[in-house]
Structure 1
Amino acid sequence: MTRSKLRAVALVGLGMLFGAGLSGYVQSAIAQPGAVAQAPRPAPADYSRYRKLDMFARALTILENHYVRPVDSEKLIYGAIAGLVAELDPHSEFLPPREARLLREDIEGSFGGVGMVVVLRQETEPQARYVLEVREVVAKGPAERAGVAVGDLIPSIEGKPISHFFDLRRAIMAMRGQPGTKVSFVLERPAPKVDGKPGKPSVRTVVVTREYIDSPAVTSRVLGEGLGYVRLRDFSETSGREVSDALATLRDQSRDGLGGVVLDLRDNGGGLLDQAIAVVDLFVNEGPIVRTRGRRGELLDEARAVPGQAWSKLPLVVLVNKSSASASEIVAGALQDHRRALIVGERTYGKGSVQAPFELGDGSLLKLTIALYYTPNDRLIQASGIQPDVLAGADFRPYKDSQPELEPERAQPRHLKPEDFGYPAGALQDDSEAVRAAGEDAQLRVAVQHLRGMVRVPSRGGRRR
């Protein structure tokens, strides 16, 4: 098997960058399958695809000739194709040329934007509305120079409320554009609470000039005591190499050498599958990394580790949260199955499906779900996610949901339910015998989880024999 067969894009969107790549809100993966899945059952003898197409052509002609106002035939056809895939699952979709271009820009990781990561949020107080919440500001980008800060809210873009854009992608399209052009948006900065009540926010209109944003996928820093921290924002075209370079830099910067690393995959919505494989391969010396299975669980592809990696014995902890999706879940699941890392955080999003892009000839794309991802132990990621070894919420309380507004994949009305065909889905919760024995003692439960993690992952790294 060659890795080119498994090259895939997990385009996601729990937070999208206005000029820095992809992060957050899970949306999709693009793959090129290495084999053809089992053929579907033949249609009934009296079925005629061409008869149905004739019906569509008749309906289109009636609309063109009799609707009260002139219609745009291209928009009608685009809408019809979008309706076809809307009956499938949340990640199969039709992208007209402009939206398809946005997807390609996200894959390449460099485009005209303002340089911030946002998520879509619905508010009910003091009034019902949709806003964009700034989760990250790209260093030295236009947004940072304009004074945008994490936690700021954007209620409107170019004079239009966020609800006007229907979804996050359309809001992103309004913010992106040719470098050198300007975009304006209203920025709200929440005020501190007074006597438990929210203060009046400061509101101003910000005008920024779009630039090419080419933010690095990886950031790192020395924590001290021989420990390092690496954050992986998304899986773009050079992420594997950037992680490797970051580890080498941390080793050189650490006085006593690099004794262990925290790999932060929180809010990482995915990216290129081959880069997820490359990241796992840095830490695993042998065995499978990820499997792709099609209809009825048929194996389409399997990626395997290449021996001789420099970091295969480095002690490793991986941080995940609800926004860790797709390629992030592949990495966390592979390292967990190989007992190569301790997984800490929250149960991940559960986006384990593979989408293939089909060009339609005019710049538009049909993105269609063709397969599902499985971990090395054949655990199904789809709608199940990865359960961490140690459950940790957003603060020091025993557990606090980091993003209560975010519904996971399994909550989506049309999500692909885990038909595992004999391959188990991931654990729905940490319900092991030892954890159950801890009862309602939250501190004991956390202690047991840590102890189980220490038993699962040897102190010097490597797979347990």
Structure 2
Amino acid sequence: MTQQSTHIATVKTTYTRAAFLLWALLSLSIFCFSNALHASSIKDLKSQQISEILFNIHAYYVDDLSLQKTPHYTYSNQQVEVLLEQLDPYSKYLNENDLNALFNNTNGQYTGVGIEVKNIDEHITIVDVVKNSPAKDVGILAGDIIVSVNNKSTQAQSLEHVAALIKDPSFNTVAISISRKGYQQPLNFAVKRSEINLESATSELLESGAGYLAIHNFSNHTLHEVALHVAALKNDYRTPLKGLVIDLRDNPGGTLQSAVAVSDLFLQSGTIVTTKGRYYDANQAYYAKRGDILKGAPIIVLINENSASAAEILAAALKDNKRATVVGNQSYGKGSVQSLIPLGDGNTALKLTTAKYFTPSGASIEGVGITPDVAIAQATLSQSNKAVIIKNKQNKNTPQLKSEILGDLQLVKAKQLLSMQ
């Protein structure tokens, strides 16, 4: 079974140039973008912007390139194309729409329908529906298979093509036809895009007196959300938690600052992460301050092949400092840090890899990932499946087979390990 995943969203926001510059200087973002800074994205740029791109690559790119070997450089379009092909997949020119999307994601917001889809066995399958989203409101469910979008068939189409259909700006309301188990005919939904506030964390209380905390991404609000969830878990049980499962599976990352701050919640001391690059400010070390929110209660961290960047920073920080046991699959392996550099009037930017990060043990995970302490491979489950296992009961509104209920071997193992401590 092959799987690919994407969130369906379009975004819009506003910001001032001053705020943008401050964010660029203070925040090293580590979002997992898959498109490189290809030459096709700069064909319409003015020569001044191209000169800015070349200067910033010369000054700040993490690796030494041929461009950086001479102080005097004038590049033709063809030479620029050759240079850009040498950059890593995370360095990217951001036009105004791309930049808006990045800021909104960092702030936990986007405008869209609110579904996550994967290509599963050549079917575009909805694997998660965002809480308080238009898709949730009209009754779309995880497990639904998309048959058509705006009367265009999705059969044999790529994930990217279907995402483009759903994001087509010429349609304010998206017509989605789905196939659902138990129904002979497709179900049709009209879903109007709206602004969605994303929860970066959710939690449940385990029957054993331990807690379950799922962190879905690392935004500017994640530290606050995680702290509130842990406090609520403590209050629900009315005694200190006996342990905590931190689920980082399918977490694509987020901001470096957020990952460091959340790691610090659970550590009394030790290195969280270090970054190293060519220019002075890219070389940083982040250390934990005294104060463990769990007061030493055991932690199990769940990761899989889609846990990346900021999620890997948290997992490695807790693992290397002997604060948690990591369970699951080898993680994605994104060990680079990107900085936002404004171009021109600040409506566009260069997202450039300026440093590599290293775990407390001094290892780079780029292209390697984090190796779990307890390796258990499995397919990704929906949040509804996880909720069934967490509570050891079946939701009458989401009937599931016994094999599906027992399918989250990683979560079951995490609960078992906590019960032994």
State the match for 1:188 in structure 2.
179
Deviation at 1:93, TM superposition (A): 2.0
After superposition, the Cα gap between the structure-2 partners of 1:315 and 1:354, relative to the gap in structure 1 and judged at 3 Å, is: same
Tell me how far apart the structure 2 counterparts of residues 92 and 42 of structure 1 sit (CA, whole Å).
16
Structure 1 position 86, deviation (Å): 4.2
1:308 and 1:357 map into 2 onto residues whose CA distance is 32
Contact 1:82 1:93 in 2 (8 A): no
CA drift at 1:38: 8.8
- How far 1:267 sits from its partner (Å)? 0.8
Gaps of 5+ in 2: 1-22, 35-55, 382-409
The aligned counterpart of 1:250 is 233
Aligned match of 1:240: 223
Pairing 1:221–2:204 present? yes
Residues 85 and 94, structure 1, Cα contact 8 Å, conserved in 2? no
How many angstroms apart in 1 are the aligned matches of 2:360 and 2:26? 15
* Residues 24 and 340, structure 2, Cα contact 8 Å, conserved in 1: no
Q: CA contact under 8 A between 2:211 and 2:243: conserved in structure 1?
A: yes
Tell me the residue number matched to 2:361.
377
Matching residue of 2:47: none
How many residue pairs end up in the alignment? 341
Distance 1:387 1:106 in 2: 28
Task: Specify the alignment match of 1:10 in structure 2.
Answer: 30
User: Which of residues 350, 361, 376 in structure 2 aligns to 1:366?
Assistant: 350
CA root-mean-square deviation: 3.9
| Structure 2 residue 131 is matched with structure 1 residue 148 | no
Contact 2:149/2:162 (8 A) holds in 1: no
CA separation in 2, counterparts of 1:368 and 1:260? 39
What amino acid does structure 2 have at the position aligned with 1:90? P
Give the CA deviation at 1:177.
6.6
Q: How far does residue 243 in structure 1 lie from its aligned partner after superposition?
A: 0.8
> Is the CA contact (8 Å cut-off) linking 1:294 and 1:372 kept in structure 2?
yes
Change (3 A) 1:382 1:158: same
- Residue of structure 2 aligned with 1:351, choices 331, 334, 338: 334
Q: 1:83 to 1:141 in 2, by over 3 A?
A: farther
Contact 2:315 2:326 in 1 (8 A): yes
| Contact kept in structure 1, 2:138 and 2:191, CA below 8 Å | yes
Q: TM-score, normalised by structure 1?
A: 0.63
Aligned to 1:49: 73
Query: TM-score normalized by structure 2?
Result: 0.69
Q: Structure 1 residues 144 and 44 mapped into 2: Cα distance closer, same or farther (>3 Å)?
A: closer
> Distance in 2 between the 1:151 and 1:42 partners?
49
- Per-residue Cα deviation, 1:95-154 (whole angstroms, up to 9, x for no partner): 3322232222212222322122223x2755xxxxxx542221123321112221112223
**Alpha-carbon distance between aligned partners in 2 of 1:230 and 1:87, rounded to the nearest angstrom:** 39
What letter corresponds to residue 11 of structure 1 in structure 2?
F
Match of 2:95 in 1: 96
The corresponding residue for 1:271 is 254
Structure 2 CA distance for partners of 1:101 and 1:267, relative to 1, 3 Å = same
User: Residue 270 of structure 1 aligns to which amino acid in structure 2?
Assistant: G
For each residue in 1:297-319, what CA deviation from the matched residue of structure 2 results, as whole angstroms up to 9, or x when unmatched? 99711111111233241211111
**1:13, 1:269 within 8 Å by CA — same for their partners in 2?**
no
Counterparts in 2 of 1:133 and 1:285: CA distance versus 1, 3 Å: same
Using a 3 Å threshold, how does the CA distance of structure 1 residues 279 and 44 change in structure 2: closer, same or farther? Answer: closer
Could you tell me how far apart the structure 2 residues matched to 1:364 and 1:10 are? Answer: 18
- The AA in structure 1 aligned to 2:73 is R
1:110 alignment partner in structure 2: 109
Quick one: structure 1 residues 110 and 260, their matched pair in 2 at CA, closer, same or farther if it must change by over 3 Å?
Answer: same
Amino acid aligned to 1:331: L
For residues 166 and 357 of structure 1, the distance between their equivalents in structure 2, rounded to whole angstroms, comes to 30
Which stretch of the first structure deviates more once superposed, 169-178 or 382-391? Answer: 169-178
Quick one: structure 1 residues 84 and 109, their matched pair in 2 at CA, closer, same or farther if it must change by over 3 Å? farther
Secondary structure at 1:116 match in 2? strand
Is the CA contact (8 Å cut-off) linking 2:265 and 2:291 kept in structure 1? no
Answer yes or no: is the 8 Å Cα contact 1:11–1:269 preserved in 2.
Answer: yes
Is the CA contact (8 Å cut-off) linking 2:277 and 2:283 kept in structure 1? yes
Name the SS for the 1:365 alignment partner.
Answer: strand
Pairwise CA distance, 1:383: 0.6
Write out aligned runs for 1:304-319 (5 A). Answer: 304-319=287-302
Structure number, greater radius of gyration:
1
Give a deviation string over 1:363-384, Cα, whole Å, max 9, x none: 2332222211111111111111
Measure the CA separation in 2 of the matches of 1:252 and 1:44: 59
- 1:225 is displaced (CA, Å) by 2.3
The alpha carbon displacement at 1:254 in A equals: 0.6
- Structure 2 Cα separation of the partners of residues 170 and 203 of structure 1: 17
Aligned to 1:136, what secondary structure does the other structure show? strand
Q: Which residue of 1 aligns with 2:129?
A: 137
**What's the offset of the Cα at 1:13?**
6.4
**Residues 162 and 171 of structure 1 are in contact (CA less than 8 Å); yes or no, is this contact kept in structure 2?**
no
TM-aligned CA distance change 1:279 to 1:163, over 3 Å: farther
Describe the shift of the 1:291–1:6 C-alpha distance in structure 2 as closer, same or farther (beyond 3 A). Answer: farther
Which among 277, 289, 304 is matched to residue 272 of structure 2? 289
For residues 226 and 186 of structure 1, do their structure 2 counterparts lie closer, same or farther at Cα, with a shift above 3 Å needed? same
